[in-house]
């Protein structure tokens, strides 16, 4: 027993040291220290499953994702539970016989799951164990059920998905409401407490909106730089510095189609920000959490 403790301490120190070094170098650290306790040490004790009322989320403009994990003896014996990320943000650790939910913005949501080792999960592009890494296309007004189990798989594929869909394979699968219901009603709500804090069971629409805006703006700016570099190499525009007006030749920096996309993106962002501010001021239920 003492030998095992020594090995674990050495391993923990090595992981922490590596994490510190990479943090200084700018690499992102994926970790759920203090959140990753498993079902063996801390069984889920929340109330049995009930669908949340439609008044608690914007069922016309947003989407709802239920995450559930059926009971299994294997999962019940976990010391550490895996983490669930949406768009590279950690929201909860998935213990045995549990469910939770997230209200999300329509579009492409990137779902990842990582298994921790003493709370640490990965450094930069390196992951100790990346169990799920898939994009989920969600539509306004729809409810989705993501089933996770490392022991059993659904007895039938989701009829709403094409046969070759990645969501019909692996440990986390997108199942139909009809398939999910008999299983999910046996699970308990993944409540947040001191031993297992989490940030699910809420709306993340505004977070999604900010992430989508930042990602799209970065993509457009990079594409614009690449297009200008191509035009410059072909001599089709000149630099704006004074001496180049006489010596470089070519046309001044042209207006690109990407400029119109950037302008439209900014207008969309500003309009959305104004709408959110107005509804929050009016006490609207658009942001009920």
For residue 230, count CB atoms less than 10 angstroms from its CB and return exposed for 0-12, middle for 13-18, buried for 19 or more: exposed
Tens digits of residue pLDDT in 262-277: 999 999 999 988 888 7
Which of 23-32, 55-64, 176-185, 261-270 is least confident?
23-32
Higher pLDDT, 40 or 248: 40
Cβ-count burial of 3 within 10 angstroms (0-12 exposed, 13-18 middle, 19+ buried)? exposed
Mean pLDDT score, 49-77 = 96
Query: How sure is the predictor about 50, in pLDDT bands with cuts at 50, 70 and 90?
Result: very high
Q: 204-249 pLDDT, tens per residue? A: 999 999 999 999 999 999 999 999 888 888 877 655 544 454 445 5
* Whole-number Å distance between alpha carbons of 1 and 201: 40
Sign for the pseudo-dihedral over CA of 195, 40, 45, 136:
positive
Residue with tokens 């709500």: 189
Contact 111, 66 (CB under 8 A): no
User: For the chain, which residues make up each domain, given as ranges?
Assistant: 29-203, 209-281
Exposed e or buried b per residue across 41-73, where buried means at least 16 C-beta atoms within 10 angstroms of its C-beta:
eeebebeebeeeeeebbbbeebbbbbbbbbbbe
Distance CA 278, CA 12 (A): 48
């Amino acid at each position: 027993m003492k030998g095992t403790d020594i090995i674990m301490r050495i391993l923990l120190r090595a992981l922490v040291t590596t994490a510190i070094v990479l943090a200084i170098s700018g690499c992102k650290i994926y970790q759920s220290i203090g959140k990753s306790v498993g079902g063996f040490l801390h069984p889920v004790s929340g109330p049995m499953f009930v669908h949340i009322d439609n008044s608690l989320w914007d069922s016309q403009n947003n989407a709802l994702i239920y995450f559930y994990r059926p009971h299994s003896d294997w999962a019940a014996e976990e010391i550490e539970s895996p983490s669930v990320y949406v768009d590279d943000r950690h929201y909860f650790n998935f213990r045995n016989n549990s469910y939770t939910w997230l209200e999300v913005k329509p579009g492409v949501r990137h779902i990842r799951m990582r298994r921790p080792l003493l709370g640490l999960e990965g450094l930069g592009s390196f992951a100790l164990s990346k169990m799920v890494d898939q994009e989920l296309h969600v539509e306004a007004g729809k409810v989705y059920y993501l089933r996770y189990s490392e022991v059993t798989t659904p007895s039938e594929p989701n009829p709403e998905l094409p046969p070759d869909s990645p969501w019909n394979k692996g440990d986390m699968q997108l199942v139909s409401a009809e398939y999910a219901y008999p299983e999910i009603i046996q699970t308990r709500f993944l409540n947040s407490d001191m031993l297992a804090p989490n940030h699910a069971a809420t709306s993340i629409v505004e977070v999604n909106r900010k992430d989508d805006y930042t990602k799209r703006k970065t993509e457009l700016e990079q594409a614009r730089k690449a297009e200008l570099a191509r035009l410059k190499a072909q001599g089709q525009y000149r630099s704006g510095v004074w001496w180049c007006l006489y010596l470089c030749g070519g046309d001044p920096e042209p207006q690109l189609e990407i400029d119109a996309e950037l302008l439209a993106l900014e207008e969309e962002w500003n309009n959305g920000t104004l709408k959110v501010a107005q509804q929050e001021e009016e006490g609207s239920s658009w942001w009920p959490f």
